[in-house]
Amino acid sequence: MTVAEKRFCIVLLINTAVAVLYVIGNSRIRQKEKNTDILMKGIMMFLCPVVGPLFFLAGLVFNKVFFRQNVDLEDVIFSKERVKTHLRADEEREGNLVPIEEALAISDKDSLRTLVMNVVRGDVQNSLASISLALNSEDTETSHYAATVLRDALNDFRKRAQELYLQMKQEGVDAAEAACILIEYMHGVLIQEVFHEKEQQTYIDMMEEACNFLDEKYQEKLQASYIEGLCVLLLKIKDFKRMKYWCDKSRELYPAELSTYTCYLKLYFTEGNKKHFFDELEKLKNSDIVIDRETLELIRIFS
């Protein structure tokens, strides 16, 4: 064997060893990289005993020298809170939907199923009343699906309400915050009247207990909207005595709030107490309170 052949064999052996080590090293370090890519690089270095290794070595050195720098991420914000995604409405799909009452009335199974599916894809908690209407559907598939969704949503509500209630009863640092969250959370579901009468009554009592808790210990956190929400729920079950108590509480704490007057008006109107109703209406007209459209329409009707 000549000297040139010996040198070629030595270079070939060294190059083969480098190629094998490269394949093994990359397989361990870069497990997600495709095996075919690693294999092709190894074959290239094997077939090009000198140029292949030099090419990859030069690329590695060039990358280390010129591109390996610390990246300044000071101005980069990864939080999704500041990202707003604007999606165009699907006009064709929305235009083909009908109200759930109409779908039930005409037994439109396709429209009803599509409507229920789209409602479920959204905020289920705020759509429980609509979903409950589908329970009376003649389409067994729709009624079964609505019952399943409603059952799961109400079970989640029961669990969450109980957790917040127990946290409030502990009277720790977060007790007041738990009471506020409980009132807001319960009102959003109870106002839809999806529970049976006794269970609805139980949760209204729980909500009133949370309001009493705030009134006694954290009165500054008892908002006018909390009292208004409780009054509306008490009005629905026709508990006028308790509603009158909270109307008086609202006047005591928030005499300049529109909700104070509207709660009294709803109470007296439902009771049929004309004298107190018109007295309250006159007080509102003579006040400096900014009146919304609904209340203004009420004033126009009875004036």
Contact between 124 and 149 under an 8 Å Cβ cutoff? The reply is yes
Lowest pLDDT segment from 65-69, 243-247, 251-255: 65-69
Q: How much is the pLDDT for 186?
A: 94
**Phi first, then psi: what are they for 68, rounded to 5°?**
-85, 85
pTM comes to 0.61
Q: In this predicted model, which residue has the larger pLDDT, 53 or 85?
A: 53
User: What confidence tens digit (pLDDT) does each residue in 150-166 have?
Assistant: 888 899 999 999 999 99
Separation between Cα atoms, residue 217 and residue 148, nearest integer Å: 40
Separation between Cα atoms, residue 209 and residue 162, nearest integer Å: 13
Token duo for residue 301: 């009707």
